Amino acid sequence: MTETELIEGLRKQSPKAQQEMLDRYGRDVFAQVVRIVSQTENAEEVYQDVFVKVFSHIGQFDGDRSSLRTWVVRIAYNEAISFLRRKSAPTVYFDDYDRGIETLTDAEVDETLGHANGDTVQLIRAALQHLPPEERALVTMFYYEEMSLKEIAYVTESIPTTIASKLCRTRKKLCRIIKMLQA
């Protein structure tokens, strides 16, 4: 089924098209959501909300503005962030990680984040949990989902240069968190 046929089927509320949508994007959406909200039970709830919204709002999809995948990711991002904002328990993030990140060089950041051995991957996963949801989502979309700055800007309703700046700052913050976790 082509993307055009899929969209047409979704607009007609075809169960076959809905299943195709879940098969095509479900796994990636769940992975993205779980990286943002952290807990699997919460991610399952958000995942369901994402596809309810996708199926009920497919008429609003505009293929001239984004791909279907990017549109779905935008819905997933918004649902995950909204879910975290609605949570009653406050989440604490360590603003201390912001201190001193300006002194980190790109080489230091690349050295800390660049070696993808098992230990580093585990440290990065642990460090991601110390980031606010928006920054965690940014890292997830850029590195895990391999989205372009333009696509991320669409998802987050921003502009590519702002995303590049936030990504640079977040990478430095991750580096600092990893160094603190190793200490």
Instruction: Report the number of distinct structural domains present in the chain.
Output: 2
Q: What is the DSSP letter of 12?
A: T
Q: Please identify, among 86, 120, 140, the residue that sits at the C-terminal boundary of a domain.
A: 86
The boundaries of the domain holding residue 74 are 3-86
Q: Please identify, among 45, 67, 86, the residue that sits at the C-terminal boundary of a domain.
A: 86
What residue type is assigned to position 32 of the chain?
A: Q
pLDDT for the residue 91: 47
Residues 99, 81, single domain; the answer is no
Residues 37, 77, single domain; the answer is yes
Give the domain CATH number at 42: 1.10.1740.10
Give the domain CATH number at 104: 1.20.140.160
The answer to whether the beta carbons of residues 134 and 180 sit under 8 Å apart is no
**15-37 and 68-86 helices, crossing angle to 10°:** 50
The answer to whether the beta carbons of residues 65 and 157 sit under 8 Å apart is no
The answer to whether the beta carbons of residues 67 and 33 sit under 8 Å apart is no
Residues 68, 15, single domain; the answer is yes
Pick from 16, 77, 85: nearest CA to 50:
77
Residues 6+ apart with CB under 8 A from 144: 31, 32, 35
Per-residue pLDDT of the chain (183 residues; tens, 9 = 90+): 899 999 999 999 999 999 999 999 999 999 989 988 888 899 999 999 999 999 999 999 998 889 999 999 999 999 999 998 887 444 445 454 555 555 555 565 556 565 545 566 677 777 787 888 888 888 888 888 888 999 999 999 999 999 999 988 888 888 788 777 776
Residues 61, 110, single domain; the answer is no
Q: Please identify, among 36, 61, 86, the residue that sits at the C-terminal boundary of a domain.
A: 86
pLDDT for the residue 148: 92
Residues 76, 100, single domain; the answer is no
Residues 100, 122, single domain; the answer is yes
| Dist. CA 73–CA 76, nearest whole Å | 5
